[in-house]
Each structure stands twice: as structure tokens, then as C-alpha cells.
Chain A
Amino acid sequence: MKILVIEDEPAMLEVIRQSLQKENFLVEVAGDFSSALRKIIAYNYDCILLDLTLPDGNGFELLQELKKMNKTDGVIIISAKDSVDDKIRGLNLGADDYLTKPFHIAELNARIKSVLRRKVFDGKNTLELGNIMIDLNDRTVTVKAEQMTLNRKEFDILTYFMANKGRLVIKDALAEYIWGDYADQANDYEFIYSQIRNLRKKLKEHDSGIEIRAVYGIGYKLVVL
């Protein structure tokens, strides 16, 4: 899987690159408009992470170029601009998702995987790990051909962990994922803890072959047994 990261802030570019390499993606980077354009023209990528404000151009223009060339690369806009107008414009121009900075690495992983699934698995939207299979279209979970019932939040948490398998997901990232933006007093760890506890119990009961492990009390990690 080849991913292009277009970001003008070197430090930001570096952390994204490091994190994506941990996921065994092939990562290429571009720090400005012109080099990004050259790479887009020359190669095909499975997913492009696109910052909107670049020193020598605008991310929207890159998006337009991409669509002109009829390329099917998945595009996730990553921007500090949190305006509805920009979001709508980006999505109308053909971006697959819009992520506002600052984001958690786990969130970025989940979004990239979701875009890749849609691109690669053409409609069939499933995740498999251990004995478990998740159908994201029907929102159903099957373990060894047997249905496992999860409530809405538990289902979301499980898919989030599956996108971040083997990685540390800190509690804040999980809280933000569950509550979304603008939720003041969002960090209700107790609630998250209870959701995780229920999910763990169900995973164990159904012999799913995966486990959510607590890491030093700061977060969790999904491991395949």
C-alpha cells in the first residue's frame, strides 16, 4: 500500500511518516505544491494525505488536478482549518474524508484504513482478524460463523481498535473518537472504561482470538492471541 503525505510542516510530516511506517505502508512525502504535483502526475497512490495550506499553492488545486487526470487515489484532507465551508468544498471536489488538526494517530489510521477498504475491496466492506469478521456495511460481527451482538458504541470501538491493531490507543483518542468534536467535558473515562469492559467480556466469551489489553492505565492495545 502506497501512501503520499503532502504537508508543509516538516515536524508534522515526520510524525505522520513514522506512524504510517509502523503500519507497514510505503510512505512518500512532499513538502510543497510543486513536488506534490510532480509525484501525483508520475505515480499512483492508494491514499493521499493532503494539507490544504501549502507555501506555493492550495491543496484544493491539487485535488482538482488529481480529478482532471481521472486518478482514483483516495484522498484525505488534513487541515487545521476547521470551517464547514472548507469541508464541504473538499468533499465536493472528490476528497474521501476530512480530518481536522490536531488529530490522534489512531484516528488517522482508522480513517486511512476506511478509505483503503472502500477503494480496494470495491463495495465488500469487511474486516477480519483472529476468528472475528466485521461487516461494516451491515454493522454485524461474526465469530466462527456465529453472530456477536454489540451495541453501537461497542461496535465503533471494536472497528477503531481493529484499524489500530497492535498499536497503543490512548484513552483521550478513544474519548474523542466516541464523542466527536466540540464535546466540552468530553473525557468521561469511566464511561469508556465500562464500554471497553463489556466489549472485552464479549470478545472472550465468543472466543474471538483477539484481546484488548490495558497499557499502563494510559490506553489500550488490540492483540491477536
Chain B
Amino acid sequence: MKLLNHTLLYLSVSLLAVLGLWALIFYFNMLEEVKDSIDDGLANYKMLIIYKAQKDTSMLSSAAFGAENYTIREIAPSYAIQVRDSYKDSLLYSERLNSYEPVRLLTTAFAAEDGRFYELKIISAAVNKAELIRKLLLSLTVLYMLMLASIIAINNFVLKRIWRPFYYLLNQLKKFRLANATLFRPATTTVTEFRELNDTLLSLLGRNLDTFISQKQFIENASHELQTPVAISINKLELLAERNTLSEEDVQTVAAVIQTLESLKRMNRSLLLLSKIENQQFAAEEKVNLNEVIKKMVSDFSDLSEFKEVQLLLLEDGQFDHVMNKDLAEMLVMNLLKNAIVHNRPNGTVTISISHSSFTIENTGEAAPLDPVKMFDRFYKKTADRTSTGLGLAIVKAITHFYGFSIEYHFSGNHVFRVGVTGQGS
């Protein structure tokens, strides 16, 4: 869920609670206030009626609520003494509305000039609670909707604007590559938090960059420091082997040592290559046509395939273009193709098919499938082959991973490797 929608969700839920509570308090306060106001009116009215009744005795005989909204009836003096002013809610049948309507009723007693006691009842129209609740709910719903609408509007316009530096930074981080670190530019903002984020990111990336550079230097130094002694050893042994004073047995021992040093050299080179790929040190990218690369490799390997009596078949269903480093593209194809030729059988075939977003290399060979989990691991070897470094497929894996390609292996009697752009069918 997006940040904007999160705010919206939380706001709408809390707003509902706040509005509900507010409506409840408002309702009771309002009701109390209206009641007070009606009661005040009734008390006032009472004074007027009693005052009038002292002069106009005809008023003393209105027994029912008619045109007037009061009744007066005579009561016994003993009863009259107990009477206190009482306000209560009551219902009165309304002719006009043809239903019982809520009224406020004041009951009191007074003594007239004739010395007799009378009971006075006054009514006044009261608030219809059901109606009030209904109206209140309606208004609140409308208010709630309006508020939600304005929050959405605010979210979309104001919040998006406020969070713009954040999204900008996020985008920068997504694109960030250690190999070309100049790309990162801090966001322009006056917001303290975003300024802090800017500074933190800058220092974090700066530190990473320093580590990266020193690691890169270490790799180069390690390469230099290791390659030179190996070079000296190999060349000294080569000179030694040329000496005529050595016996055949000695020369063969020398040759065996050279071979061991050779595999050390190759392993060192492959490991350096792997860490270079993983450290993203192949920055120079261009639009590479994989068809061209594959054709070049097929022609380079034609001698070997002829010697191995393996037939190379190339099927092109489309042009596979991708922006990548050309050396890595060649290395990727070369490693896969070489495996397909070397681990083949006489009169076997290697079929390469290229589509616009993938290429597949299928070869005949051993009848048993490779271990799909371990095969891309470093130093994975099917056989105890001394000439193999076991790094070829690890290099393939590193290159495909670097460019976000998918690499799949399956065994259908033939060994099939498929390299493709992810998210697109072939």
C-alpha cells in the first residue's frame, strides 16, 4: 500500500471515531440546552397565567387543552400544599399531524384571589428526538464524506508535493550503482527531515563508495601481487625445461608443475573476473546484438566442434538486443557454448535458438541431468576433471544476475540452458 493511501486509511478511520464521539456529545448538550430553554419559557408563561387569572376568573375553568396550551382545575388545599413545580416530557395527540407529538409539561399549583387552590398544567412543543437524531446523522454523514473528499484532494495535491523530495531520493537510490556513483544528487528541499535524509544518504553512500574503491584497489593489488609470482614461477620452469641437461623424467616433472601453476593462474583470473562482475566493475555498456555475439562465437568454436564431431545448429527467430557490456556478453555465450561442445558426444549436436528476448543452447551429452541447485556454485564439478576450474557456470550465473536475466536449466534427454530477459516470454 502506498504511503498516501496509508495516511488516507488512518485519517478516515480516526475521523469516523472523532466525528461519532463529537456527534454524541453534541446531541446530549443540544438536547439539554433546548430543554432548559423550553423550561424557562414555561416558567415565564406560568407567571403570566397566574397573574392574568387573578383578574380574569373565567380563565379558572379551562379544563382541557384547547386553543390555549394550559389547563386549570380546582384542587383540595391539603393536596395543593404538596405540589411542587414539576417539568416532564409527555406526549400529546396532535390533530394536525394525526399522531402523538412530544411535549414538555409543567405542573404547578397556585391560590387564586377567591382563596381557592388550583392546579395549572402548561405544555410547550418539545424537540422530536428521533427527528433530531436522523437529521444529525445525515449532516454528519455528509460532513464525513466531504472531509474524506477533501483529504483525498489534499493527499493528492499537497502531500504529494510535500513528499516529492522523498520520492526523488527513492528514485535516486534505485538507480544508484557504485560503479558510476556520480549519478547521485541530493534533493532540493527546506524540510528538516528531508535535509537530514539527504545528508545521511550522502555520507552513507560516500562511505560505501570509499569501501568500494578500496576493495577495487585491493582486487587490483591482489591480482598484481599474485600474478607476478605465478608468472615468474612459470617462466623460470619454462627456461628450466629447455635445458638439455635434464633427463626426460625431470622435464616431465617440470611440465607437471607448470600445469598446476597454469590451473592456479586460470582460477585466479576467473575469481578476479567473478568479483569484478559482482562489484559491478563492467560499467561500459552499449546496445549489444546477441545474434552477432553468438555468430562470432559459433565461428570461433567451429574448429573445436569439428574436431569433437559435434554439429552446431543456429536458429534465429528474432533479433535479441540488450544494453550490456560487450565483453561480458561474449563471456556469457562463450562459457555456455564451450560447455555444450566439450561435454558432448561424437556425432552429437548443439542447437542454439535465438528469439527477441532469449537464447537457448541445447546439447546432446551425458544421459544424466546436472544438479540444478549446485551447478551454478563456484567449484562445482561433475567429474574430478583437473583442467576445469569449476568456475565457468558461476561466471555465467554472475553475468546473468548482473543484468537481471533469467537462466534456466532443464534436462529433456538433452541439456538445455535458456537465458532470457525476465518478464517476457520467448
Contacts and interface: CB of A to CB of B under 8 A. Distances in A.
Contacts of B68: none
B303 A185 contact: no
B388 A217 contact: no
Interface residues of A: mostly helix, strand, loop or mixed?
A: mixed
Given A101-B228, A191-B304, A185 B387 contact: yes
B367 to A, nearest CB: 21
A168 B252 contact: no
Kindly name the residue among B236, B342, B391 whose own CB sees the greatest number of chain A CB atoms within 10 A.
B236
Contacts of A104: 234-235, 238
Given A19-B239, A168-B241, A188 B227 contact: no
Nearest to A184: B392
A215 B348 CA distance: 34
B387 A187 contact: yes
Given A101-B231, A102-B231, A216-B251, A185 B388 contact: yes
Given A184-B266, A185-B342, A170 B241 contact: yes
Interface centre among A102, A103, A106 (most CB of B within 10 A): A102
Interface stretch (B15-23, B106-114, B127-135, B254-262): B254-262
Nearest to B243: A168
Chain A contact-residue range equals: 35 or more
B252 A218 contact: yes
Interface in A69-90: 79-84
A9 interface: yes
A102 B265 contact: yes
Interface string A156-188: 000000000001101111001000011111111
A185 B334 CA distance: 12
Which residue of A100, A170, A173, A187 has the most chain B CB atoms within 10 A of its CB atom? A170
Interface stretch (B88-96, B182-190, B267-275, B353-361): B267-275
A191 B254 CA distance: 23
B227 A80 contact: yes
A188 B342 CA distance: 9
A185 B238 contact: no
Interface string A57-79: 00000000000000000000001
B391 A184 contact: yes
A168 B224 contact: no
B164 interface: no
Contacts of A184: 266, 270, 335, 338, 388-389, 391-392, 395
A38 interface: no
Interface in B161-186: none
B260 to A, nearest CB: 10
A78 B261 CA distance: 19
B303 A216 contact: no
Interface of B: 220, 223-228, 230-232, 234-236, 238-239, 241-242, 248, 251-252, 254-255, 258-259, 261-262, 265-266, 269-270, 272-273, 284, 303-304, 307-308, 327, 331, 334-335, 338-339, 342, 385, 387-389, 391-392, 395
Interface of A: 9, 11-12, 15-16, 18-19, 22, 53, 79-84, 100-106, 151-153, 167-168, 170-173, 176, 181-188, 190-191, 194-195, 215-219
Q: Which 8 A-B pairs have the closest CB atoms?
A: A102-B231, A218-B255, A184-B392, A80-B227, A80-B224, A15-B235, A101-B231, A187-B387
18 contacts: A19-B239, A80-B227, A81-B220, A102-B230, A103-B231, A104-B235, A167-B242, A168-B241, A170-B238, A182-B269, A184-B270, A184-B338, A184-B389, A185-B385, A215-B251, A216-B251, A217-B252, A218-B251
